[in-house]
Structure 1
Amino acid sequence: MPELTFRDATAADILTMLTLSHAGDARGPDTPPLDPAMATDPRTLAAFAAIEADPAHRLIVAERNGEVVGTLQISFLPGLPAFGMRRGVLENVHIRSDQRGSGLGTVMVQWAIDRCREAGCGVVQLTSNKIRMDAHRFYRKLGFEQSHEGFKLKL
């Protein structure tokens, strides 16, 4: 398996994380270009600071040979069902496009699952855009089940 190291992201990683996320945009060629100014926008910096300050959330970067090749966010959510079972939620999971298919995504998601287990979570959940069929196959291969339909309401 490829060797990856994981660390909590710093503000210096914001543009790289946004770039990885943008490259995975499900709109493909219809995706508008990434505005690099987003990385220093006060709203982005405030969101980063809020995530960084809250122990229930982690922004992670995965590095290989000193380069960031992946990113994800882990959130730990308490809940009342199942006797108060905690849920681990994975968001914004992305591997650099030239690294896909190399096993890095598997290593990264397994690492995140292990962090959820260590945090006492009884389940790990995530959403994936309906048109990202390769991602769906990837998650099923890792043991995730498509058990629910997701809904979003943009405000």
Structure 2
Amino acid sequence: MELNFRSAIETDLPHLVSMLANDDLGGQREDTSDPINHAYVSAFNSISKDPNNKLVIAENGKQLVGMLQLTFIPNLTHTGSWRCLIEGVRIHQDFRGQGLGTKLFEWAINRAKIKGCNIIQLTSDKQRPDAIRFYEELGFVASHEGLKMKLVR
């Protein structure tokens, strides 16, 4: 299967939200109502306007099969290096287990190298052991303890 990668456009949002909601965790936190919740449109517009953010689509022909978000972060640490944060990774349920996630990450890792990043980081919910195992197989190491705080909106 040949993949093409491109920046997301606003009309992709219903498909992206559907993929984000398509598991036990995502189903609890995403809103798949129609019309689309305006909060997604607002977030999309903010991401699109920020040159250090990229919402990436993987397509097989015209079919959207995967997604992720890259955020490039300048840091003073590590001698003023750049980091790449990868979040919101999903492969459409009908295409899992076919190597598309690996291809998507190879593409993302290459973009981080082009940007001059020294570190790529990501988080994965501990309730997703298959995802964590996948990231470790790609070479990611659980070298730090991650902490989060949910804020009430």
- Which TM-score applies when normalising by structure 1? 0.91
Q: Identify if the C-alpha distance between structure 1 residues 150 and 136 changes in structure 2 by more than 3 Å, giving closer, same or farther.
A: same
Number of aligned positions between the proteins = 151
Structure 2, unaligned stretches of length 5 or more? none
SS of the counterpart of 1:113? helix
Q: Whose relative contact order is higher, 1 or 2, with alpha carbons under 8 Å and at least 6 apart?
A: 1
* Alignment equivalent of 2:59, drawn from 59, 63, 84: 63
Q: CA deviation at 1:53?
A: 0.6
Structure 1 ranges of 4+ moved more than 2 A:
24-28, 31-39
Q: 1:104 to 1:129 in 2, by over 3 A?
A: same
Cα distance in 1 for residues equivalent to 2:45 and 2:149:
25
Cα displacement (A) at 1:36: 2.3
Matches within 5 A, 1:4-153: 4-26=3-25, 31=28, 34-37=31-34, 39=36, 41-153=37-149
Q: Give yes or no for contact 2:91–2:101 (8 Å, CA) kept in 1.
A: yes
| One-letter code aligned to 1:145 | V
Shift of 1:24: 3.7
The verdict on how the C-alpha distance between 1:45 and 1:142 changes in structure 2, with shifts beyond 3 A counting, is same
Deviations 1:55-83 (A, max 9, x none): 10000110012100001000000011011
| Cα pair 1:86 1:123 within 8 Å, conserved | yes
RMSD: 1.7
Aligned residue identity for 2:115: A
Q: Which amino acid aligns with 2:22?
A: A
